[in-house]
Structure 1
Amino acid sequence: MAEPSILSETRGAVALLTVNRAAALNALDLPTLAAFQTAFAAAEAAPEVRVIVITGAGEKAFVAGGDIRDLESRQGLPHYLELGEALHRTFNRVEACDKPTIAAVNGFALGGGTELLLCTDIRLLAETARLGLPEINLGLFPGAGGSQRLMRQVAPCRAREMMFTGDQITAAEAVALGLANRTVPKADLLAEAMALAERIATKSPLVLKLLKRTLRQGMEMPLPQALAHEHAMIGLVLDSADAHEGCRAFAEKRAASFRGC
């Protein structure tokens, strides 16, 4: 029996999803995307899960893009209706998730791998990891959100250079560009990602949810409207038991016990 293309496990309040196609450098095809959506939806729905970590199997790749042989055989409309739709549906779900997401990038994150990374909240990179959008070298361009998300996350001139040349960048360059939080020795990557996830999981899941919505929605608004939106959302937070528990715990010099309500 073939191994599952996505491995899913829960460690305390953290779900760990691993793209498990190491022989194919964890390339994304339709079955893998379907399995990822199923596993991700389960982690989203699980009340005990507060943070989701995403990584790749093996030593070489996080996700090394799509299956090139599959892309070569495709025509426009079938691609739009099948693989393209699946990619956008999957990545949009990661981006819109109310639970914090962390990418633990253990190797190559090319094409769809970089596009997946762009949807996550926090990105830790192995020192040997490399990122890139090499689609231009195949007569294509990033079509799973990369052409739009990258322009919104780094200086447009640098985004254009990455997409026009198709060049890979190092982990250190990605951090300098603001595409990742920091580099980590490869041997420590998963442990550090899980430790960070566990720290975040101690916070109020309700407040994290409302904060993520405030950040995501506010980015699409002019500043005056975004500030008004923030004003309304913090009012919702102050109606929560968690907000009052946090304030009491601070006053009583003890750790807060957040219940998500």
Structure 2
Amino acid sequence: MSDEQNPILCERHGAVGVLTINRPKTLNALNVPTLLALESALTALEKDASVRVIVITGAGDKAFVAGGDIADLNSRQGLQHYEEFAEVIHRVFRRFELCDKPTIGAINGWALGGGTELLLTLDLRLVAAEAKLGLPEINLGLFPGAGGTQRLIRQVPLCRAKELMFTGNQITAAEAVDLGLCNRSVAREMLMEESMKLAHQIAQKSPLTLKLLKRALRDGAEMPLGAALAHEQAIIGLVLDSQDAHEGCSAFLEKRAAQFTGK
């Protein structure tokens, strides 16, 4: 089946779900059908209780996502773009950001434009040493419009975010790690192995506690400190009502491995 007929591959490896953007002929560029397929695949993994961590990567060895489909963008006017593309990409990217399961980006190549914007929605990011990141929209007379302007300024220093968006310059994997956009750089041939190793490590933790931890972090980032601390206090109280919390403490005291069930 061609990549256009099957733009998203969805696989399960034990407790880890893997989503692969499968349009290598277009360097995994994002268009509406691809975004809708990505949303559908994410929904399936979210509903699958056996999946505890989600990894997302790109097909081929050149690109994670090289951006949006420029010809498609050029064919639209403002209101049409807003209604037919912008609403879809914003909704899908927000779905990744709000996902209760930990997400890991295996950034296997170019992550440009929408690729960097997608990366910004993921919890953890491992990047191939040869990869390049950037927001080159300014070179097309545009600016990042899939959440990039707002997410980037919340994740890196404002002056660095402005430089990336004003110049459209690409940065290397090492620069992305130094800037705090990625967790670490990995040799390309080891990228999926390292990403899956990290995913399986996280999948051993309590899925309920991970969900509530993600919510505490995500919600708290939007609150003043006092409110965020009160929110944390309430959330950890919920955690202590779970079987997993007491299983973890009992396992520690009994010097055995904990068996978390998500209850």
> Please, which runs of 5 or more residues in structure 1 have no aligned partner?
none
Cα distance between partner residues in 1 of 2:239 and 2:124: 23
SS at match of 1:260: coil
Alignment of 1:78-93 (within 5 A): 78-93=80-95
Give the alignment's TM-score, normalised by structure 1: 0.99
The letter for the 2-side match of 1:80 is Y
Match of 1:252 among 250, 254, 257: 254
Runs of 4+ in 1 over 2 A off after TM superposition: none
Q: Once the 2 structures are TM-superposed, how far is the Cα of residue 47 of structure 1 from its aligned partner?
A: 0.4
Cα distance between partner residues in 1 of 2:2 and 2:12: 22
The letter for the 2-side match of 1:205 is P
Asked if 1:51 corresponds to 2:56, the answer is no
SS at match of 2:174: helix
Match of 1:67 among 66, 69, 73: 69
Asked if 1:212 corresponds to 2:253, the answer is no
**Which residue is equivalent to 2:144?**
142
Q: Once the 2 structures are TM-superposed, how far is the Cα of residue 73 of structure 1 from its aligned partner?
A: 1.0
**Which residue is equivalent to 2:109?**
107
Asked if 1:231 corresponds to 2:238, the answer is no
Match of 1:18 among 6, 17, 20: 20
Size of the aligned set, in residue pairs, is: 261
**Which residue is equivalent to 1:153?**
155
Alignment of 1:192-211 (within 5 A): 192-211=194-213
Q: Once the 2 structures are TM-superposed, how far is the Cα of residue 190 of structure 1 from its aligned partner?
A: 0.4
> Please, which runs of 5 or more residues in structure 2 have no aligned partner?
none
SS at match of 1:142: coil
The letter for the 1-side match of 2:257 is A
**Which residue is equivalent to 1:240?**
242
The letter for the 1-side match of 2:122 is T
The letter for the 2-side match of 1:68 is I
Cα distance between partner residues in 2 of 1:69 and 1:210: 41
Cα deviation digits, residues 197-240 of structure 1 (max 9, x gap): 00000000000000000000000000011000000000000000
Q: Once the 2 structures are TM-superposed, how far is the Cα of residue 2 of structure 1 from its aligned partner?
A: 2.6
Cα distance between partner residues in 2 of 1:123 and 1:101: 9
**Which residue is equivalent to 2:9?**
7
Asked if 1:119 corresponds to 2:121, the answer is yes
Q: Once the 2 structures are TM-superposed, how far is the Cα of residue 99 of structure 1 from its aligned partner?
A: 0.2
SS at match of 1:82: helix
Q: Once the 2 structures are TM-superposed, how far is the Cα of residue 156 of structure 1 from its aligned partner?
A: 0.2
**Which residue is equivalent to 1:181?**
183
Cα distance between partner residues in 2 of 1:194 and 1:12: 11
Q: Once the 2 structures are TM-superposed, how far is the Cα of residue 71 of structure 1 from its aligned partner?
A: 0.8
The letter for the 2-side match of 1:69 is A
Cα distance between partner residues in 1 of 2:234 and 2:61: 46
The letter for the 1-side match of 2:74 is E
The letter for the 2-side match of 1:44 is E
